[in-house]
Amino acid sequence: MPTAPPLAFPGDARPHAIAALRQYIASDLDLEIGELKATLFLDWIAAELGPTIYNQAIVDARAFFDARLADLSAVCYRDEFPSMVKRKR
């Protein structure tokens, strides 16, 4: 299996994530950091924690689809020759 690329941020999500990180650090930790430090920290978070978050998302998605698949035959199954089934009863 090929190595997956590092976590990528779609569209303009990256600058918003950097701004949110800077705001969090300023408001909750009473520290001011520049954009470069916030970018480097975001890259570290994505590289170190991203795979764990991604893996959990896959586990959650699989559980969701497995639950739906288990119920698929009950939801989609139709009696064959329904007029014959009614006569037997």
Q: Which domain holds residue 36?
A: 13-88
Q: pLDDT digits over 29-67, tens only?
A: 999 999 999 999 999 999 999 999 999 999 999 999 998
Model pLDDT, residue 70: 85
Residues 45, 24 contacting (CB under 8 angstroms): no
Alpha-carbon span 17 to 19, nearest angstrom: 5
Domain membership flag for residue 67: yes
Count of domains for the chain? 1
Structural domain includes residue 8: no
Distance (Å, whole) CA 21 – CA 35: 10
Residue 5 scores a pLDDT above 70: no
For residue 68 the two structure tokens come to 């739906």
DSSP 6: P
Core vs surface per residue 36-60: b (16+ CB within 10 A) or e: eebbeebeeebeeebeeeeeeeeee
Residue 23 has pLDDT above 90, yes or no: yes
